Amino acid sequence: MNITLWIVLLVVVLFLLFLPRIGALALFRNYRAAQDREAAEDALKHLLDREQQGRHASPESLAGTLGLSRPKTTKLIEKMEVQGLVETRGAELHLTADGERWALHVVRAHRLWERYLADEARMPLRQIHSEAHRREHKLSDAQLDELDAALGHPSRDPHGDPIPTREGMLPKAEGTPVTAWQADRPARIVHLEDEPVIAYEQILAAGLRLGQDVRILERTPQRVVLSDGENEYRLAPAIASNVHVAALPESELLKREAVPLTELPHDRSAEIVMLDEAVQGFTRRRFLDLGLTPGTVIYPELKNFFGDPRAYRVRGTLIALRKDQAAQIWVKPV
């Protein structure tokens, strides 16, 4: 091989190596930058979670959560301190104002992605956490606002955790562990803790779900037995403590005076009382865009020979709703 060919090959290799943006070195730098950002954002989430619990993270807790060695954890903390995201006070790690804003951005991204994956992509609940974690590091504030609006501005993720607002407000998490709930008092499941994963999978396997009304039938050091009126659910206390419940909301009282729109006779008008809490994401936004809001009068028209979909008159406009959609709209005949 002559010297000219060697020179040409060398030039091509150098070109491919140092090509801006798509060269091998540029791609490697982008990969390293993405890895560093992901590690920093996971660290910020850990610090925020600890502060939400009324405690503070430490280098040891951070290393355990991220699965890093102590030297790598120390290096990560030093980088975050230089960026103005974290302050070290003795053995405790504290978020700065900038660090808290960034942490809330990541938490908001994660929980909005979980809402999308559960409601729109119909991904099984046991899979959405890991997929949302993979996606949470890639959206800007503007893109998050678009996703939030497209989903109808949901306030909770599929596990019941509050979603931070655009302004950076994080509502307080609701609920009491069912292991500490009064035995003879009915309750609604408002949060299912998704970590550790093995406990969450046992809760799902038992058949419990967010929004379910339950009552404690038995509570011993060996087991907790819950009932929804039709089925019984048996959990070990350590697993049951990840099921959080709250008193039945006021909307439940409204439901008791209403019926699903599917049960409205053909010749009756009705006033919309509420949309079912199960209606989230794009479906909820579509209902609201159609004018299906509390207080609106709705009237069934144009019987369908097959029964589905059914036509309804709302605010002077004729709309069609499938049976499963109408079942999620609660009305009071007038």
DSSP labels, 299-325: EEES--TT--SEEEEETTEEEEE-HHH
16-95: which CATH architecture?
Orthogonal Bundle (1.10)
Instruction: Tell me what pLDDT residue 184 has.
Output: 79
Instruction: Tell me what pLDDT residue 171 has.
Output: 86
Close Cβ partners of 259 (under 8 Å, ≥ 6 residues apart): 330, 331, 332, 333
Identify the CATH homologous superfamily for domain 176-248: Ferrous iron transport protein A (FeoA) (2.30.30.90)
Chain centroid to CA 276: how far? 18
Does 176-248 match 16-95 at the fold level?
Answer: no
Instruction: Tell me what pLDDT residue 24 has.
Output: 54
Instruction: Tell me what pLDDT residue 23 has.
Output: 56
What number does CATH give the domain 253-333? 2.30.30.90
Chain centroid to CA 303: how far? 39
- Other CB atoms closer than 10 Å to residue 206's CB: what's the count? 17
The tens digit of pLDDT for each residue in 295-328 reads 999 999 877 666 678 899 999 899 999 888 999 8
The tens digit of pLDDT for each residue in 16-29 reads 556 666 655 555 56
Closest listed residue to residue 125, CA positions, set 225, 65, 192? 192
Instruction: Tell me what pLDDT residue 173 has.
Output: 80
Q: Rounded to whole angstroms, how far apart are CA atoms 49 and 194?
A: 14
Backbone phi, psi, residue 216, to 5°: -80, 120
**Do 136 and 111 touch, CB atoms closer than 8 A?**
no
Close Cβ partners of 327 (under 8 Å, ≥ 6 residues apart): 260, 261, 262, 276
Instruction: Tell me what pLDDT residue 95 has.
Output: 95
Could you read off the pLDDT tens digit of each residue along the chain, which spans 334 residues? Answer: 567 766 666 666 555 556 666 655 555 565 566 677 899 999 999 999 999 888 889 999 999 999 989 999 999 999 999 999 999 999 899 999 999 999 999 999 999 999 999 988 989 988 999 999 999 998 899 999 999 999 989 999 999 999 999 998 998 888 999 999 998 788 999 999 988 889 999 999 999 999 898 999 999 999 999 998 889 999 999 999 999 999 887 666 667 678 899 888 888 899 999 888 778 778 888 899 999 999 999 999 877 666 678 899 999 899 999 888 999 899 998 8
Closest listed residue to residue 97, CA positions, set 107, 82, 87, 109? 87
Do you find a cis peptide bond into 196, omega within 30 degrees of 0?
Answer: yes
**DSSP conformation letters of 31-93:** HHHHHHHHHHHHHHHHHHHHHHTT--B-HHHHHHHHT--HHHHHHHHHHHHHTTSEEEETTEE
- Other CB atoms closer than 10 Å to residue 224's CB: what's the count? 25
Half-sphere exposure of 308 (CA within 13 A, CB side): 8
**Do 157 and 115 touch, CB atoms closer than 8 A?**
yes
Instruction: Tell me what pLDDT residue 53 has.
Output: 85
Q: Residue ranges per domain, the chain? A: 16-95, 176-248, 253-333
